[in-house]
Every structure is written in structure tokens, then in C-alpha cells.
Amino acid sequence: MTRRDLLASVAAIALTGCAVQTPESGLRFLTPEETASLTAIADRLIPADALGPGAGTAGAARFIDRQLAGAYGTSRDLYMRPPFLPGVPSQGVQSPLTPAARYRAGLAGLDAHCRAAFAGSGFADLDGARQDRVLADLEAGRIMLADGGRAFFELVLRDTIDGFFADPHYGGNQGMVGWRLIGFPGARYDYREVVARHGEPYREPPVALA
């Protein structure tokens, strides 16, 4: 590898935020530490209770990892040409930052905040009540991260819910726990027999894509 190639590959990593591959973990973008934080966050956003497992247990971090490694994470399909000018809210998001870069920066910022505020503990090390307070502070804009704490909170909340209700093959709805929670039958694709049975419960279990 020439010096020029090396610089180019370093630049590429900096641009895309690509982590070193860790095949043993099955991760494609996130680091094990980031995964632990995200799992802990997701388990507070949609917690385990008598109704079923939480979103972290259902695979939120795996879902987000795979999404960030693909077209979504790199904003591959979006219009990303400059200039990025500040607009008004009705014009939509104008940011050169990809979701992958926002997760990398957001999780690092959250970790730094927690370690400073809680004597060296990261988010995943805190108890549930403290975790909830941190998330509520992020949501309310009381914790500022580089990309804006509130915006990062909204990103993680949306992706966690997306994964929890998406087909299980994406990784965030393992065991179809999101679908079972609300009574969505998934990819059944045929309700001719029940369309006219008004007000009756649907009793077939959910099915997923292969």
C-alpha cells in the first residue's frame, strides 16, 4: 500500500465512519460498546414488562447495525449534493451528516456525558431509573450533543420503533414480539375469510417473510 492509498483509505473511513469489521460479533457497523449502549437505550424506550420483551432484547441494535451498514446508513439514495444551507422547517432536513455518522457521534457524545455525570459509568452501566432520566433529558434538549441531543434521541426512537415493527428478517423484531404485542398478523396476506366478521378477534398467529 502506498502512502497515497493509505491516506485515501483513512479518508474513506473518516467519511463513511466505517468501523473495523468484527466478524465474530456479526456486527457490520457498530462496535460492541455502541451495541451495548443501543441495546440498553432500546430496552428503556420499549421496556420488557408483562406484555413481553423489550426492544433491545428483540434485536434493536442488530437492526440498527444492519441499517447503518446499508443504503440508509450512508444516505446512498438521498440527494446529498452541496450546498447544505439552513432552511425553514417546511423545507425538510438539510444536513450532510449520514445516519451512520450521527450514530457514531451521538453514541460517543452520550457515553462521554454519562461518564462525566455518573463517575465513569457508561449509559449501559446505569440503573433503569437513571437511564430514563438521561433519555428524558436528551428528548427535552437538556443534554447537548454535537449533533443536538434532541435530534439524536428522535433518530434512535424512530429507528428502534421501525425495527420493533419491521419484518423479523431485519433483526429488530425477533420472535415477532413487536407484532405479538399489538396483534398485527404480519405477512398473512389474505383476510378474505374475516373481512366481514366485524369486531371479532383475529386468532391466527403472525407470520413473517422467510
Cell of 154: 428522535
Residue 188 in grid coordinates = 398473512
Binding mask 10-49 for another protein (x = CB under 8 A): ----------------------------------xxxx-x
- Is the distance from CB of 184 to CB of 166 less than 8 angstroms? no
Smaller CB separation from another protein, 22 or 84: 84
| Nearer of residues 2 and 90 to another protein, judged by Cβ | 90
The 160-199 site mask, x for binding another protein (CB under 8 A), equals -xx--xxx--x-------xx-xxxxxxxxxxxx-xxx-xx
**Residues 104-133 interacting with another protein (rule: CB under 8 A):** 132
CB-based contact 138:110 (threshold 8 Å): yes
CB under 8 A, 24+ apart: contacts of 51-56:
51/181, 52/177, 52/180, 52/181, 53/175, 53/177, 55/160, 55/161, 55/163, 55/164, 55/172, 55/178
Report which of 181, 206, 209 is spatially closest to residue 55, judged by C-alpha positions: 181
Please say which residue, 40 or 45, places its beta carbon nearer to another protein.
Answer: 45
Which residue among 93, 112, 144, 146 contacts another protein (CB under 8 A)?
A: 93
Residue from 2, 79, 116, 203 touching another protein (CB under 8 A): that is: 79
Q: Please give the helix or strand (H or E) that residue 61 lies within, else none.
A: helix 60-69
- Residue 142 cell numbers, joined: 437538556
From 77, 119, 127, 203, residue interacting with another protein (rule: CB under 8 A): 77
Q: Can you give the binding site for another protein, defined by CB under 8 A?
A: 44-47, 49, 51, 71-72, 76-81, 83, 85, 87-94, 132, 135, 139, 157, 161-162, 165-167, 170, 178-179, 181-192, 194-196, 198-202, 209-210
